[in-house]
Structure 1
């Protein structure tokens, strides 16, 4: 397995610490709309733009009274925001991106913003893996809520108990999906590098995202970077039925608990039944 390392996660571009007006490019995406909702819950003035808007995200943003401009253009930024958050769908030649860079408006990516505004003051619990992130994250939120906790979360699905995919919650926990896809046109590192996990669940690793990863070794190298940033006093809970997961776990510095169907694991699956 080859190990390829990029630079350390980049710090957000400098902006006024008392910033109130935040503009999101690509605001109607699932993650960006959730981030907009979290920022609104935290008291920021939020607005944004996208090429199109469809339910359920359009209805979510409308319900939060977050203005959305359809179509990208410099005129959308005529009232200059304190900070622009640039979504992964935005290309470098996007007219608003060109304007932001030219006018030197402070900007950051979705994962940078999530880390800066929410994770620095919480204990992040990150669910990573090629498959199963949304389901497993939802189960983790439900488990924490069942113990009386009020975890914050950012999940790419709608939890029935909250009727939402995001929730500000209360300290210490914040649950989120750790996506291995790249961050933005100006930063090709995996999103999950920014999430500062104290503990993680690793569900699976196989070749995916062929548009940015050359082969399985490249995917594994990204996950090696992820497990290496978990501190020594942290925890990884991993489905070790996957050979690629076992390869990556060799680089963990923290305690590892394994699960799956193989009987050599810490917890293994024997049978199940379903009911209401």
Structure 2
């Protein structure tokens, strides 16, 4: 099979390219910009483009499939050439389904927790010695790539609700046709694509309708919006709620209590305990007992950038997290405060995505940082320029977050200086962003603070 990737450098795209190359496919690709780790990883597998840019001459009639990434535009010269030649063009979720349509498909959906739940399922399957394929949105310890496609009878897929490609406006998780599914919760996101909460919620209703007849969906029983959606849904699938397990927190360690046994975890927070139960529900359907599942979770360290511990000493823990939407901020802050009730919390978040920067969406953040003792919001001034959005000032942010004592920065050097000036004795620091805080070296920042 000959497969060509348009925009091969994307996180999911380069991992899929590597997976197909390892499967024996002849893989080529192009991109107008490439970053690490894509460059090194593509080079390692011999599929790094010789130069950046778009080269329509790469598209020939002997190519079996063209996979189009979201980074490409609808007027991309390679896309136009592929269309002119009548080649079969797939989005990456469409092609993942094509490669897994004869497998048992587990799809993890929801506004938050998808990566963690998927990671927990993969960790438990690996511990149980099961054979499986996967697609997950973060690099995981013990897994070389974020995508694997083989002859395994099972695939576990993190099902994103964002669009599939520039020419396929369907959410990715609609294309996988799950046999077993999870919905972890619904909280409005992607306002640039789903301009109303009703538009956004409808995508999860459609997702349930895409589940294969006789399939099952497990959903967060504590989510009111999700519960109403489930009650109104008449799809011929089994719908089962999951809830918080019994647990305790002692000396900063969270343990699940099950059948009189205690299982100390390396992750914490009620949102992660709900994620844990979502994954347990799926693993039960895949033949893993609850006891074996909880035992496997003793060594689960979490996914990259999900309450990832950058460093600690006797009086301070420093975490970074992918949280950027209101519900994720609220859950992550609550988790750290509950785990360390006697420590203060300096919480710093970056507004970075189109949705989070949108003035029409900004009010959704009201109150979401209230549990933090000190709340800091950062917007890199360059982000407005790059996204071609009209900038706004500190007063707009303070009003949206409904917190008068909120601190605002729009220069990364000023933010870094402020954080380094703080006395973190008996305080934790939480750094939350889907971006990179204007290029601040967070590991170096952590080391400097802990010294």
Do the structures match in fold with TM over 0.5? Answer: yes
1:257-276 mapped onto 2 (5 Å cutoff): 257-261=240-244, 268=245, 270-272=247-249, 273=254, 274-275=265-266
Secondary structure at the counterpart of residue 220 of structure 1: helix
Match of 2:175 among 187, 194, 197: 194
1:101 aligns with 83
Distance 1:170 1:82, change over 3 A: closer
1:130-141 mapped onto 2 (5 Å cutoff): 130-141=111-122
RMSD in angstroms over aligned alpha carbons? 1.9
1:89 aligns with 71
Question: For the residues of structure 1 that align with 2:203 and 2:217, how far apart are their CA atoms?
Answer: 16
> Is contact 1:237–1:259 with CA below 8 Å preserved after alignment?
yes
For residues 124-159 of structure 1, what are the alpha-carbon distances to aligned partners after superposition, in whole Å with 9 as ceiling and x for unaligned?
A: 101101111111111011111222202111111112
> Is contact 1:158–1:165 with CA below 8 Å preserved after alignment?
yes
Question: For the residues of structure 1 that align with 2:81 and 2:213, how far apart are their CA atoms?
Answer: 43
For residues 172-231 of structure 1, what are the alpha-carbon distances to aligned partners after superposition, in whole Å with 9 as ceiling and x for unaligned?
A: 210111111111222211111110110011112111001110211111111111112223
Question: For the residues of structure 2 that align with 1:159 and 1:25, how far apart are their CA atoms?
Answer: 26
Superposed displacement of residue 111, structure 1: 1.3
Question: For the residues of structure 2 that align with 1:242 and 1:216, how far apart are their CA atoms?
Answer: 15
Secondary structure at the counterpart of residue 95 of structure 2: helix
Distance 1:225 1:74, change over 3 A: same
2:15 aligned with 1:23: no
Select between 44-53 and 161-170 the one with higher mean Cα deviation. 161-170
- The structure that has the greater radius of gyration is 2
- Provide the aligned length of Structure 1 versus Structure 2: 250
Distance 1:48 1:216, change over 3 A: same
Question: For the residues of structure 2 that align with 1:228 and 1:271, how far apart are their CA atoms?
Answer: 37
Secondary structure at the counterpart of residue 22 of structure 1: strand
Return structure 1 stretches of 4+ with deviation > 4 angstroms.
none
Superposed displacement of residue 67, structure 1: 3.4
1:170-185 mapped onto 2 (5 Å cutoff): 170-185=151-166
2:239 aligned with 1:256: yes
Distance 1:231 1:115, change over 3 A: closer
> Is contact 1:123–1:171 with CA below 8 Å preserved after alignment?
no
Secondary structure at the counterpart of residue 146 of structure 2: strand
Q: Which has the higher contact order (CA 8 A, sep 6+)?
A: 1
Superposed displacement of residue 169, structure 1: 5.0
Match of 2:191 among 199, 206, 210: 210
Match of 1:143 among 124, 134, 144: 124
For residues 82-111 of structure 1, what are the alpha-carbon distances to aligned partners after superposition, in whole Å with 9 as ceiling and x for unaligned?
A: 321111222111111122222322222111
2:138 aligns with 157
Secondary structure at the counterpart of residue 179 of structure 1: coil
Question: For the residues of structure 2 that align with 1:197 and 1:77, how far apart are their CA atoms?
Answer: 32
Superposed displacement of residue 269, structure 1: 5.0
For residues 56-88 of structure 1, what are the alpha-carbon distances to aligned partners after superposition, in whole Å with 9 as ceiling and x for unaligned?
A: 122111111113241113233368623211112
2:243 aligned with 1:240: no
Structure 2: segments with no counterpart, 5+ residues: 255-264, 267-298, 300-451
Match of 1:49 among 23, 30, 54: 30
1:73 aligns with 55
2:45 aligns with 64
Q: Could you state the TM-score of these two structures normalised by the residue count of structure 2?
A: 0.53
Kindly indicate which of the two structures has a greater share of residues assigned to helix: 2
Secondary structure at the counterpart of residue 157 of structure 1: coil
> Is contact 2:23–2:150 with CA below 8 Å preserved after alignment?
no
Question: For the residues of structure 2 that align with 1:172 and 1:158, how far apart are their CA atoms?
Answer: 23
Structure 1: segments with no counterpart, 5+ residues: 1-19, 262-267
Question: For the residues of structure 1 that align with 2:72 and 2:243, how far apart are their CA atoms?
Answer: 38
Question: For the residues of structure 1 that align with 2:131 and 2:200, how far apart are their CA atoms?
Answer: 33
